[in-house]
Amino acid sequence: MTIRNWMKFFMVSMIIGGGVTAVASLFIRWNFFQPYITSGQIGEFIAAFIWMVLLGFTMSVIAQAGFFAYLTIHQVGVGLFRSLTLWNWVQVVLILVVLVDIVIFRFAPDAKTFGDWAFYLVLLVILVGAAILTALKKVKMTGKKHVLVSALFFMIVVTSLEWIIALMGRDENINTWLALILFPLVAVNAFQLLMLPKYNKQSAVDLAKREERRKERKRMAQQQS
């Protein structure tokens, strides 16, 4: 990928992360914003909203770091197991391990009521549901069925590792942060997984044009000499 297209990829990811976090915060953390609205403190409301956007930018950077780490891990996994089929089975096992870990070691200790379990179940459904939809879209875009498992692995396992910041927390408002942080991570990761080929393709076109211009300049220089 060219630097120009990488910058576009980076900036769009940042915008998605900031925008999704800001919008989600108006619903998830309305009690945080409401006092500023009711008291007419518009400046304070805008400052709080901008803070949420910055939080989304941070989540976007974490998601992008996780994505490029995953690309490396995927290549290492294929090379290590010397079979895409075997590597896919390993990824399936890791997906199951991570989901069990989230439920037993992250959610269960804090789930005291039926409402708590319902809340955590909704978060898990959002994570897995978004992963399935993104993976199916990836298969449709590429026409390659074998990418389904890899896409699910990235959307579930890697997103969960990025989500660990909130999952490991024990703050009294941790449930709020669990929900708020999940949305930008899922959105940015889905965008990266689905749109990276587009930016790679554009980079190939740009490089071809650059090479053509280089050859044209060389040809013109030879004619002038």
Q: What are phi and psi of 19, to 5 degrees?
A: -65, -45
Q: What is the pLDDT of residue 116?
A: 87
Q: What is the pLDDT of residue 225?
A: 62
Dist CA 137 CA 220 (whole Å): 47
Q: What is the pLDDT of residue 123?
A: 94
Neighbours of 221 (CB within 10 A): 9
Where exactly are the structural domains of the chain? Answer: 3-224
- 225 residues of the chain, pLDDT tens digit each: 788 888 999 999 999 999 999 999 999 988 888 888 888 888 989 999 999 999 999 999 999 999 999 999 999 998 888 888 899 999 999 999 999 999 998 888 888 889 889 999 999 999 999 999 999 999 999 999 989 999 999 999 999 999 987 666 556 677 888 899 999 999 999 999 999 989 888 888 878 777 787 777 777 777 766
What are the DSSP calls for 100-126, one per residue?
HHIIIIIIGGG--SHHHHHHHHHHHHH
Neighbours of 189 (CB within 10 A): 28
- Amino acid, res. 134: T
Dist CA 117 CA 123 (whole Å): 10
